[in-house]
Amino acid sequence: MKLTTSRPSTTGRAMTIDLSIIELSPPRLQFGGAITHSDPKVGLLAAGPFDLRFGSARKDHIHVGIVGPADQVVAARRWLDRCSLEIPVLGNANLLKRPFPGFADAFHKQLVAPESSSIALNFDTNDNLARALQGDAYTAFQNVVDLYADAHTRLSSRDLNRPDIILMCIPDSVFAKVGSVERKATEEERKRAKTIQRTRESTQLDLFDDILDEVEQTSEDFLRRDLRHALKARALRNRLPIQLVTDALLNDTSRNQDPATRAWNFAVGLYYKAGGVPWRLPPNGPDTCFVGISFHHFRTTQRAIVRSSLAQAFSSNGEGFAIRGEGVPVEPNQSRNVHLSELQAFQIAQNVLSEYELRTGGAPLRVVLHKTSYVDAAERAGFEAALKDIPIVSMVTLVPSLFRLMRYGAYPPKVGTVCTVNNDRSFLFTSGFMPELGTYPGPHIPQPFEVRCLGSENAVAAAQDVLNLTRMNWNTADIRGKWPVSLSFARRVGGILDEYGDEDLMETSFRYFV
C-alpha cells in the first residue's frame, strides 16, 4: 500500500511525503514433520522437534542432573514428573495459553532424572548452603557460586552416566541475599561506571532507555555481579549446560504464570540446552550466517578494564555460537556509540567465518551483520575485507524510533508491518497486533525499529530477516519476541563472559549462554 500526503514546510510551500506500507508474513517454522507453522507450540505438537529428521541416531531420552537444597531437588524431580504428563491451562484455553501435552508428546523423548545424578547441598546435620550464605553479601555470593559449581563439576566430570543438562535449583532466600551483589570495585572502575551513565544520559533519549537496556550493558551491570551469570560461566568452563530453576517455576501461585505456560517455556529451553533442535527457519535462500555485533566491558587478570566486541552468530539452521573480539582500553571520552577499528572488524568477522565453517563444514553464501549503532567507514572496510569471498554481505543497523503508525480499529499495526518514508527510511514493527493470537499482547504502544541497510540488499529484505529471527529464541515457546536472536542476548552473554574472564573460550555454543 502506498500513500502520498503533503504538509506545509517552514518556507510555506507544500512538502510531499510518500509512505509505502507492507505487511510481512509471519515467519513459518520447520519442525520434525512436513508441516510449517508460525507458532512453536502448534508445530511441536503436530510434528515434533526439527531434529526428528536426523533419524534413529538420536537418543530416546534426556538425562537430567539436579543440584540444590534437598527439598528443591525433590520438588524439581516432581516437576519433571509433572512435565511428562499433560498439563491443562488454568481457566479457558486460548491462542496464547495452550495446554502442555507432556514432554514426550511434544519432543519425542523421555526425561530421566536418576537419584544418582542429584546432589543435595544441605542435610539435617550438614547444611552447606546455610554456611555459604553466612557473612556479608559479596562473600556469601562467592561461597554460593563455589558450592553450586563444585557440585556441577562432580557431575560433569563423570565418564559414565554424565547428564545432558543440570538443573540448578536456587531458593528465593538465596536470590534475596546474593542474586545480585555490589562488586568490590576499584576507584577506577567506579569512575568508569559513572562515565557509562553520563554517556547514556547525554546520547540517548529516555524513551529508548528501557528498550536498549534489554540488550546493552548498563552502569549497574558494570558495578554488580549476577548469580545467574556467574553460574553459567562456571558451567561454560565444565562444558555442561545448566538451566536455573526457581520457586516460581516449581510452585503454583497466583503470581506465577499458569503451569502449562511454565511447562512449555521450561521444556523448550531444556530440550535446546541438552543438545536438541526444536525448530528452524525454512531454507528459502542461500546458506546464511546472521551475526549480531555488540560491546561489553570486562576485567582482565591484571584488573585492567577493556571494552570488547561480541559477536552472536547463527547459521540458517539455527546453530548458534558466541565469539569475543579483541579488547580495547577504555578511554575517558569513549562514547556509547563505540566502533571497531578496521583491524578489529576484520578479525572478528574472520573469527566468525572460521567458527561457522568448523560447525557447518563450509562457508556461508550470505552474511548479515546486525548492530544497534551505525556501521562507520572503518568497520565497513574491515568487514568487507574479511568477507570479500562471501557472495552476499549486508550490514544492518536497528535503531529504536519515535516513528508511530495509527491503524483503524482497536489494535495497533500488525507485527511485520514495514513503513518506508520517501523511499529512504524504513521502519519495522516487531511488536503489535498478532494475527496468530488474535490480539495485541503488549502493555504499551508498539515501538518500531528503523532499519538501515548497507550492501546489496534492501531494507525490506533486512526487515524480513529481523522478523524471522525474533522467532528463533530457543529459550522459550513464546512467539512475542521484539529483538532478533542475533542481538537479544547480548547483555546476558556479555555478563557471562565478564565472569568467565579473559581466558580463551573452551566452548562457544549458544546453549551455554541462554
Domain ranges for the chain: 46-171+246-279, 285-512
- Report the chain's terminal Cα–Cα distance, integer Å: 39
| Predicted local confidence at residue 270, as pLDDT | 98
Residue 396: strand, helix, or coil: strand
| Predicted local confidence at residue 268, as pLDDT | 98
Segment 307-360, tens digit of pLDDT: 678 899 999 877 899 998 876 555 554 455 578 889 999 999 999 999 999 999
| Predicted local confidence at residue 204, as pLDDT | 46
CA–CA distance, 165 with 300 (Å, rounded to integer): 29
325: nearest Cα among 351, 304, 358, 354: 351
Segment 228-253, tens digit of pLDDT: 999 999 999 999 999 999 999 999 98
Question: Residue 474: exposed, middle, or buried by beta-carbon count in 10 A (0-12, 13-18, 19+)?
Answer: buried
Inform me whether the pLDDT recorded for 208 exceeds 50.
no
Averaged pLDDT for residues 382-400: 95
Confidence band of 224 (pLDDT split at 50, 70, 90):
confident
Query: Strand 180-182 relative to strand 425-428: parallel, antiparallel, unpaired?
Result: unpaired
Other Cβ atoms within 10 Å of 305 Cβ, number: 19
E strands within 246-391? Answer: 288-299, 305-315, 320-329, 366-371
The DSSP letter of residue 280 is B
| Predicted local confidence at residue 99, as pLDDT | 95
Q: Is the Cβ–Cβ distance between 413 and 407 less than 8 Å?
A: yes
Please identify which residue in the block is written with the cell numbers 553460574: 231
Kindly report the length of the chain.
Answer: 514
| Predicted local confidence at residue 62, as pLDDT | 97
- More confident site: 272 or 34: 272
Strand ordering across the sheet containing 392-400: 2-8, 14-23, 417-421, 425-428, 449-455, 392-400, 366-371, 288-299, 305-315, 320-329
What the block records as the C-alpha cell of 321 is 555460537
CA–CA distance, 216 with 290 (Å, rounded to integer): 19
Among the residue ranges 14-23, 156-165, 418-427, the one predicted with the least confidence is 14-23
Phi-psi region of 380 (alpha: psi -120 to 50; beta: other; left: phi over 0): alpha
416: nearest Cα among 401, 397, 431, 437: 431
| Predicted local confidence at residue 302, as pLDDT | 52
Please identify which residue in the block is written with the cell numbers 528498550: 211
| Predicted local confidence at residue 140, as pLDDT | 96
Confidence band of 195 (pLDDT split at 50, 70, 90):
low
| Predicted local confidence at residue 301, as pLDDT | 55
Fold held by 285-512 = Nucleotidyltransferase; domain 5 (3.30.420)
What the block records as the C-alpha cell of 401 is 524510533
Confidence band of 206 (pLDDT split at 50, 70, 90):
very low
| Predicted local confidence at residue 72, as pLDDT | 96
Inform me whether the pLDDT recorded for 71 exceeds 90.
yes
Inform me whether the pLDDT recorded for 56 exceeds 70.
no
Q: What is the mean pLDDT of the chain?
A: 87
Inform me whether the pLDDT recorded for 404 exceeds 90.
no
Radius of gyration for the chain, computed over Cα atoms and rounded to the nearest angstrom: 24
CA–CA distance, 135 with 404 (Å, rounded to integer): 52
| Predicted local confidence at residue 254, as pLDDT | 83
| Predicted local confidence at residue 141, as pLDDT | 96
Among the residue ranges 113-127, 131-145, 296-310, 364-378, the one predicted with the least confidence is 296-310
Averaged pLDDT for residues 366-373: 94
| Predicted local confidence at residue 424, as pLDDT | 87
Segment 110-131, tens digit of pLDDT: 999 999 999 999 876 678 999 9
B/e letters for 413-425, b = 16+ CB within 10 Å, e = fewer, are: bbbbbbbbeeeee
What the block records as the C-alpha cell of 450 is 528503523
- The DSSP bridge partners found for residue 100 are 87
| Predicted local confidence at residue 13, as pLDDT | 59
CA–CA distance, 222 with 194 (Å, rounded to integer): 10
Segment 472-503, tens digit of pLDDT: 999 999 998 899 999 999 889 988 988 898 88
Q: Is the Cβ–Cβ distance between 267 and 103 less than 8 Å?
A: yes
| Predicted local confidence at residue 207, as pLDDT | 44
| Predicted local confidence at residue 330, as pLDDT | 53
CA–CA distance, 502 with 300 (Å, rounded to integer): 6
Inform me whether the pLDDT recorded for 211 exceeds 60.
no
Averaged pLDDT for residues 368-382: 94
Share of the chain above pLDDT 90, in %: 62
Inform me whether the pLDDT recorded for 196 exceeds 60.
no
AA identity, residue 385: A
Q: What is the 3-state secondary structure (H, E, C) of 492-507?
A: HHHHHHHHHCCCCCCC
pTM score, whole prediction: 0.89
E strands within 53-202? Answer: 61-68, 110-112, 118-120, 165-169, 180-182
| Predicted local confidence at residue 15, as pLDDT | 63
Instruction: State how far the alpha carbon of 444 is from the alpha carbons of 5, 206, 418, 433, in Å.
Output: 27, 15, 19, 12
| Predicted local confidence at residue 205, as pLDDT | 44
Segment 414-437, tens digit of pLDDT: 999 999 998 889 999 999 999 888
| Predicted local confidence at residue 96, as pLDDT | 80
| Predicted local confidence at residue 209, as pLDDT | 47
Averaged pLDDT for residues 275-303: 83
Q: Is the Cβ–Cβ distance between 299 and 317 less than 8 Å?
A: no
Inform me whether the pLDDT recorded for 456 exceeds 90.
no
